[in-house]
Amino acid sequence: MTIRREKFGEFEGKPVDQFTLRSDCGVEVDLITYGVAVRDWRVPVSGQSRSVVLGFGNFPAYESHSPHLGSLAGRVANRIGGASFEVDGVTYALPANERTHSLHGGPEGLGRIVWSAEPDEAANAVTFTHLSPDGAMGYPGNVAFKAVYSLKGNRLRLGLSATTDRKTPISLVQHQYFNLGTGPDVLDHMFQINANAFTETDEDLIPTGVILPVKRTQYDLQTPRTLRDGAGKPVKYDVNLVLDSGRDLTQPAATVKGPDGALTLRLWTDRPGLQFYNGVYTDIPVPGLHGKHYGNHSGFCLEDQAFPDAVHHSHFPSVWYWPGKDYSHWCEIEIA
């Protein structure tokens, strides 16, 4: 397959390129070097092409209005309470960009910079790389990041890796917003997530350290359900679900069926957690793909991840890496 490359925009004097992957079954995925964002993902439905992610048709919208649409978030995705952490007795302060906390690596995290990229036509893939210098957004260590997106059939695979020269926390996440239907919201999609627990949070969505069972809560998605309550009103989700430990990684951690029955999403991952977010706060003032308005609940995120604020909870799965201990993480998403 030929991978098309074209200029999409410019950010801080650097060109932002777009790469288009195509598969033999007609799927097309547009990837841009700004934040390694999945800008568009088109799937054949009844002889037509349907976009299944939220994105923008022009680069200025990403720079000014994107809530990490389709991007990679890091160095440490999700939230770090108090925007600081300690390594070997030294406290590192981070820029606070959500109240007094750090979110998705800070205001100039990995999802808001331009990466280098090279296509690999033999693998139908694009390899993105970035060297994050010591002190970037307050984090210690020079870290070499690599992200490889590859497309085969209806399945998009993301392979992530990183090496560091100092002890530092690393936790990346793909932040795609999906809508498998043609309507303005995702409330009538059918969700099933194989998680029997969740991490309790305070009013700022910072984990308390307590892990609670999902049974008899709105977070029990082990049996398929929509995102409405018994009265038909929207149920809000912005929660880290604890994926079943010891699960078979060949089986999907999450399955989502679109409202018209035309498409089903399946997600596989090696991560211990999955942030489930259904666009509670989404309200973007500029048009999205095909002129759509992205309001509340216009998309859902399945962010496979380590647990939020793991730097402050030693009983959470570790996010610490150092020379000789490299970061690796994979995720596969199929939409068909």
Residues recognised as catalytic: 175, 303
Cβ-contact 303, 274 below 8 angstroms = yes
- Beta-carbon contacts of 269 under 8 Å, excluding residues fewer than 6 positions away, are 243, 249, 253, 304, 329, 330, 331, 332
Encode 104-117: b = buried (16+ Cβ within 10 Å), e = exposed.
bbbeebbbbbbbeb
Q: Is 181 helix (H, G, I), strand (E, B) or coil?
A: coil
List Cα–Cα distances, 239 to 3, 59, 299, 318, in angstroms.
Answer: 36, 30, 15, 19
C-beta neighbour count of 57 within 10 angstroms? 14
CA distance 287 to 249: 38
CA distance 106 to 319: 17
